């Protein structure tokens, strides 16, 4: 269910170019009218700062493997997003993750031997180029106001990503993550079993030492844990939405693994 993209580039990005006042002095950015890249996204990275807002709308799970990340679950199978139309536009009021909202921009290291991050963009997005219309990216040699705002948003996202990494380390160190499994029994149909993701174990949470639990309360981690746990009940809602949209997976009963 929750797998990382197979290629080296982050999810949604086909290429990355560093934004340059020399190369892109006259370029402009158009408003993103559609988001086809989001239309088939079933799982999108989420930061811990978004848990409280996100848990009201869709499940929050953790990717499988030794380096798990939080994921917003928009569908139970690859290529399925039950919350948007074919153009990637929301069909209902939901919280859109910052990971989606920052596209086509992101901060990236240009050299592996440097920790410096540069503002980059996906040149295949179709919203950045030498257009007659749109918002200028530069005012002379200086970034335009819109570009400064974009940079600030991407910097905030990176900082939230660091805090998310610390949160994940706490979960791993305290051995709170377990393999997730959800069995859904449609009325009049065979049960479906979904695996391939991780969740926080309520039993292991209850077994934490008092000092560890107190530290989590003081650091604000406990509300985030419960936001995740509360959101898991929405997995069945997502399955129901898939069925209503004719996107229920044609799998062998009790053997589904997303």
Is the omega angle on the peptide bond into residue 104 within 30 degrees of 0, that is, cis? yes
Instruction: Give residue 241's pLDDT.
Output: 94
Q: pTM of the entire structure?
A: 0.90
Instruction: Give residue 249's pLDDT.
Output: 67
Instruction: Give residue 8's pLDDT.
Output: 81
In contact, 12 and 120? CB cutoff 8 Å: no
User: How far is Cα 145 from Cα 188, in angstroms, rounded to an integer?
Assistant: 57
User: Helix 210-219 vs helix 221-231: angle between axes, to the nearest 10 degrees?
Assistant: 90
Per-residue pLDDT of the chain (258 residues; tens, 9 = 90+): 443 334 489 999 999 999 999 999 999 999 988 999 999 999 999 999 999 999 999 999 999 998 999 999 999 999 999 999 999 999 999 999 999 999 999 999 887 777 789 999 999 999 999 999 999 999 988 999 999 999 999 999 999 999 999 999 999 999 999 999 998 887 767 788 889 999 999 999 999 999 998 998 898 999 999 999 999 999 999 999 998 999 876 554 444 444
Which sequence spans correspond to the domains of the chain? 17-244
> CB neighbours (10 Å) of residue 78?
13
Instruction: Give residue 175's pLDDT.
Output: 95
Instruction: Give residue 116's pLDDT.
Output: 86
């Amino acid at each position: 269910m929750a797998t990382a993209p197979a290629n080296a580039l982050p999810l949604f990005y086909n290429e990355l170019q560093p934004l340059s006042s020399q190369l892109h002095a006259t370029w402009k950015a158009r408003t993103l009218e559609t988001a086809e890249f989001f239309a088939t996204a079933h799982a999108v990275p989420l930061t811990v700062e978004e848990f409280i807002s996100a848990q009201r709308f869709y499940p929050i799970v953790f990717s499988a493997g030794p380096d798990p990340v939080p994921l917003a679950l928009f569908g139970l199978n690859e290529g399925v997003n039950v919350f948007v139309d074919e153009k990637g536009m929301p069909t209902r009021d939901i919280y859109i993750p910052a990971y989606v909202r920052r596209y086509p921009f992101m901060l990236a290291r240009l050299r592996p031997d440097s920790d410096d991050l540069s503002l980059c963009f996906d040149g295949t997005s179709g919203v950045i180029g030498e257009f007659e219309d749109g918002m200028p990216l530069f005012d002379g040699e200086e970034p335009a106001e819109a570009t400064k705002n974009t940079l600030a948003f991407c910097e905030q996202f990176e900082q939230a990503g660091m805090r998310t990494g610390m949160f994940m380390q706490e979960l791993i160190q305290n051995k709170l993550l377990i393999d997730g499994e959800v069995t859904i029994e449609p009325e009049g149909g065979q049960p479906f079993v979904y695996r391939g993701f991780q969740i926080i174990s309520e039993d292991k949470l209850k077994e934490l030492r008092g000092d560890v639990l107190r530290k989590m309360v003081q650091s604000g981690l406990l509300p985030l844990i419960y936001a995740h746990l509360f959101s898991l009940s929405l997995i069945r809602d997502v399955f129901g939405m898939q069925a209503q949209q004719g996107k229920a997976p044609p799998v062998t009963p009790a053997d589904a693994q997303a």
